[in-house]
Amino acid sequence: MICTGGSGGHVIPALNFYEHLNQNNNVHLTSDLRGLRFIDSKLYKYKIIDVPEIKKNIYKIPLNLLFFLISVIKSFLYIKQNNIDKIISTGGYMTFPICIASLFTKSKLYLFEPNMVLGRTNSFFLKKCKKIFCYSNNIRKFPSKYSNKIKIIYPVFNKKSYLSKNDVKKKSDQIIFLIIGGSQGAKFFQTELTDTLNKLSKKFNLLIYHQTNSENFNDLEIFYKKNNIAYKLFDFERHLENIFLKTDFCITRAGASTLAELVFFGVPFLAIPFPYSKDDHQLFNAKYYKDNNCCWLFEQKELSEKNLFKIISNIMFDKQNLKIKKKAMSDLSSNNTWENNNKLIKNTIYEN
């Protein structure tokens, strides 16, 4: 079983693990109701186990605790009924009941931590897990006594990403910009970038792909049309690699999966971490790639619209530095192939 929280940052890696293991295993997928929009029911065998966020409303804590206990019981029964002996958790509070249930069913528990800061659910179950899949040995808040449980793998993508990586980019007179607001913090990218984007459109022939929450579409459409900027808005794109292959430059938050994909596809990017992410994990995700000379990084509090325009303009005109960044990204991801990652994952899952 692969269990996952309901955000794209949790569900997409879970689907990729599913693809790696589905060929030779009977694989089940569990998520909450939020995760449904990311899951194609024709491709995945899945079960919805909805879990209340206990602390969301203090007046509902007693009721939510009851629902949480029911979720644990449902998880236990599902694991037993389907003879599940191995569980991979990709994190998020939704996975908590399943991880608890695994302790009673004695299923082997594997964790996944793509961030550069250990997540709280992973931290809670670290002692009981068999291994934890990570992209680095240098995870903040990771207890040294459990360092032997770390299994380094390459960033996990779907097979189509690997097959399409070397596709030839179509030549265009336009400069393709990609803006990724993420599931959180997209509002800042809608309100604070507008003046910068307007100024850039006067300097470059732009086509902007803008990922944001669907409730922001109307305001953004008004802005882009008013300023005659070519644009395409989207909320969730199942095959984001199709856009990466076209992109000349990206402005993004710093979710682990997004940054890993940008590096894999060699897309130059400026990371502006969401300043309210838990334990500031987005900042440390971005710093990891900045330290490897793969990107530009600015904290949100550093930015004003005036200097952001200058920053991006200077980046776009500095062709040599763009080449250096692309080379660093290529070097960092050179060994990340489907076959190499598949072997690492399966050898870990199958070891005694």
Q: Supply the range of the domain harboring residue 67.
A: 2-157+336-350
Same domain membership, residue 174 and residue 149: no
Same domain membership, residue 178 and residue 131: no
Helices 305-317 and 319-332 cross at an angle (nearest 10°) of 80
Same domain membership, residue 207 and residue 117: no
Q: What is the mean pLDDT of the segment spanning 71-93?
A: 94
- Between 50 and 58, name the one with better pLDDT: 50
Q: Which of 17-21, 103-107, 193-197 has the lowest mean pLDDT?
A: 193-197
Q: What is the pLDDT of residue 303?
A: 79
Contact in structure between 275 and 301 (CB atoms under 8 Å): yes
Same domain membership, residue 47 and residue 14: yes
Q: What is the pLDDT of residues 306-341, one digit of tens each?
A: 588 999 999 999 999 999 999 999 999 999 999 999
| Residue 11 CB neighbour total at 10 angstroms | 27
Collapsing DSSP to helix, strand or coil, 310 comes out as helix
Same domain membership, residue 171 and residue 147: no
- Between 305 and 64, name the one with better pLDDT: 64
Predicted structure pTM score: 0.93
Same domain membership, residue 100 and residue 83: yes
Q: What is the pLDDT of residue 149?
A: 98
CATH number of the domain that residue 63 is part of: 3.40.50.2000
Same domain membership, residue 223 and residue 102: no
Q: What is the pLDDT of residue 32?
A: 87
- Distance CA(323)–CA(339), nearest Å, equals 28
Domains held by the chain: number: 2
Residues 6+ apart with CB under 8 A from 286: 254, 259, 271, 273, 295, 297
Same domain membership, residue 141 and residue 186: no
Same domain membership, residue 305 and residue 346: no
- Distance CA(32)–CA(243), nearest Å, equals 28
Same domain membership, residue 71 and residue 18: yes
- Between 214 and 75, name the one with better pLDDT: 75
pLDDT band at 55 (very low <50, low <70, confident <90, very high): low
Same domain membership, residue 6 and residue 142: yes
Q: What is the mean pLDDT of the segment spanning 188-215?
A: 89
Nearest by Cα to 259 from 240, 236, 242, 275: 240
Same domain membership, residue 147 and residue 182: no
